[in-house]
């Protein structure tokens, strides 16, 4: 039986779906986590302590485990641990992207530099040093172009991402993003990224790389505008309603970005702005779509996205990667305000809306919640399927309107 090590942050939503995918494929799973006690009861002796933010130390732990119980693949479920997985796979001679390529997806400034060197279409950008003062920040904002967006280099899920419309706003936004970054990472001297805001519709691209060749599995429309000041996502619907020229531009720029970063194996998730046939890369990640959103994708073979990722890592035949007929989508439920989650009512009514296939609330009652940009989580996910993207989007909006989210004031 093939054995796969999954690297899992303690905060991930993804463990159950990957475990189910592996079970269906007949693959044994070992879980590597920085907090093994979280999964120890479920996994027993198949749980391994791995420092996900320490590429060398984490890889050494995996290599040591392989000497006792050989592994056939090492996969990172989310962004954290991606470089560890690449480093360990390199040392073990398993299928992998180079650690240097994966590092380019984990550091937004490094990604921008590599895309720029390869002349991939992207926003104008500049780093903001930890010691940069108000005049320097205002000057950077003007040189990059206004409006602009300020981002932490390593956070995800729109945490710490904010728009500024004027140079004065950019100064205030940088200070806020510095506080968010310090709180999330403990780094009070982090470099930030300042880039020009790109207008136009944004789509998410889900793809699979095999020996450098990109297969686009799905392009998701994001019908709610993402114009700031924060960039909290909500609805994803596929197939995209973009015209053929825009879709071709999206595919071409995503493939070019993967080449520029040196990625050649495994899943890719990209965020792209597009208008009038011109596509601009916003983000590229060497992983699958976040949260539980992969549940929107089922393929003609009946495989799930997790099954495809595991099979590809093992070098198995993938078969058709064509999506199942029809449209699908997800509503990622944003947190409306900070406080304590008292409950989400109306789930059963929302689940009875025609086209809705599931309603999942993923944050327990009684837990403190905080919206983007300070926060990085969603309350849950609503899923829908139908014949058309328009119908799926309408079902998702109708279901969301039936949910009553109750949050008390923070103590």
Q: Of 72, 5, 67, whose CA–CA distance to 39 is shortest?
A: 5
Residue 46: predicted pLDDT: 80
307 in Cβ contact with 346 (< 8 Å): no
Give span(s): CATH 3.40.50.20, the chain. Answer: 3-104
Instruction: Determine the number of helices (DSSP H) and then strands (DSSP E) in the chain.
Output: 12, 19
Distance CA 325, CA 336 (A): 34
Q: Minimal CA–CA distance to 156: which of 49, 312, 330, 9?
A: 9
DSSP-assigned letter for residue 304: B
Contacts of 54 (CB under 8 A, 6+ apart): 84
Which residues are within 8 A (CB) of 59 and not within 5 positions of it... i.e. 6 or more apart?
Answer: 84, 87, 88, 91
Q: What is the DSSP string of 367-378?
A: -EE--TTT----
The predicted structure's pLDDT at residue 10? 77
CA nearest 159: which of 267, 11, 280, 31?
11
Q: Are strands 28-33 and 47-49 parallel, antiparallel or unpaired?
A: parallel
Q: Which CATH number fits domain 124-196: 3.30.1490.20, 2.60.120.10, 3.40.50.10860, 3.40.50.1980?
A: 3.30.1490.20
Q: In 3D, which of 362, 368, 351 has the Cα closest to residue 411? A: 368
Q: Where in the chain is the domain with CATH 3.30.470.20?
A: 326-411
CATH superfamily entry for domain 326-411 = ATP-grasp fold, B domain (3.30.470.20)
Beta-sheet strands, E only, within 79-146: 125-128
What is the structure's pLDDT at 276?
A: 76
Residue 14: its pLDDT value, please? 83
In this structure, what DSSP letter does residue 332 have? Answer: E
C-alpha to C-alpha distance for 242 and 240, rounded to whole angstroms: 5
Q: What does DSSP assign to residue 146?
A: S
Give this prediction's pTM: 0.94
Q: How far apart are CA 156 and CA 189, in angstroms?
A: 18
pLDDT score for 39: 55
pLDDT score at 41: 54
**Paired sense of beta strands 266-275 and 202-210, if any:** antiparallel
- The pLDDT value recorded for residue 35 is 77
206 phi and psi angles, rounded to 5 deg:
-110, 125
Instruction: Report the distance separating Cα 365 and Cα 368, nearest Å.
Output: 9
Give the CATH number of domain 3-104. 3.40.50.20
Helical packing angle, 108-117 and 99-106, nearest 10°? 110
Mean pLDDT, consecutive 10-residue stretches, the chain (411 aa), reads 92 87 96 72 74 94 95 94 96 96 97 98 97 97 98 94 98 98 93 97 97 97 96 97 95 98 97 91 95 93 95 92 94 96 97 98 95 94 98 98 94 69
d(CA 153, CA 345): 37
φ/ψ of 212, rounded to 5, equals 90, -10
């Amino acid at each position: 039986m093939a054995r796969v090590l999954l690297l899992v942050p303690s905060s991930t939503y993804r463990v159950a779906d990957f475990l189910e995918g592996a079970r269906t494929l007949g693959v044994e799973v070992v879980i590597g986590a920085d907090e093994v006690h979280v999964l120890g009861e479920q996994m027993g002796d198949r749980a391994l302590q791995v420092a996900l933010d320490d590429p060398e130390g984490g890889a050494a732990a995996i290599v040591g485990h392989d000497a006792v119980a050989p592994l056939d693949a090492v996969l990172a479920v989310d962004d954290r641990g991606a470089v560890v997985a690449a480093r360990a796979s390199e040392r073990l001679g398993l299928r992998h992207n180079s650690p240097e390529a994966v590092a380019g997806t984990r550091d937004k400034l490094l990604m921008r530099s590599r895309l720029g060197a390869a002349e991939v279409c992207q926003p104008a950008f500049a780093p903001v040093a930890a010691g940069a003062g108000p005049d320097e920040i205002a000057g950077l904002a003007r040189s990059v172009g206004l409006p602009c967006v300020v981002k932490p280099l390593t956070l995800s899920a729109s945490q710490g991402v904010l728009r500024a419309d004027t140079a004065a706003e950019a100064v205030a936004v940088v200070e806020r993003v510095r506080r968010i970054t310090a709180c999330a990472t403990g780094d009070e001297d982090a470099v930030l990224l300042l880039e020009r805001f790109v207008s136009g519709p944004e789509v998410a691209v889900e793809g699979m790389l095999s020996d450098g060749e990109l297969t686009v599995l799905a392009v998701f429309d994001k019908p709610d505008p993402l114009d700031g000041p924060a960039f909290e996502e909500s609805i994803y619907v596929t197939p995209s309603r973009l015209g053929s020229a825009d879709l071709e531009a999206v595919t071409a720029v995503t493939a070019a970005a993967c080449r520029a970063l040196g990625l050649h194996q495994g899943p890719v998730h990209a965020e792209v702005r597009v208008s009038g046939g011109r596509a601009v890369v916003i983000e590229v990640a060497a992983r699958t779509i976040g949260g539980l959103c992969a549940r929107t994708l089922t393929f003609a073979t009946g495989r799930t996205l997790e099954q495809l990722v595991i099979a590809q890592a093992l070098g198995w035949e993938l078969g058709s990667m064509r999506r199942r007929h029809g449209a699908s989508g997800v509503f990622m439920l944003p947190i409306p305000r900070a406080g304590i989650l008292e409950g989400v009512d109306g789930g059963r009514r929302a689940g009875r809306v025609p086209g809705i296939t599931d309603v999942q609330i993923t944050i327990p009652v009684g837990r403190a919640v905080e919206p983007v940009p300070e926060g990085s989580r969603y309350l849950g996910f609503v899923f829908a399927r139908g014949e058309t993207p328009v119908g799926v989007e309408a079902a998702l909006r109708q279901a969301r309107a039936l949910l009553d989210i109750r949050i008390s004031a923070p103590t």
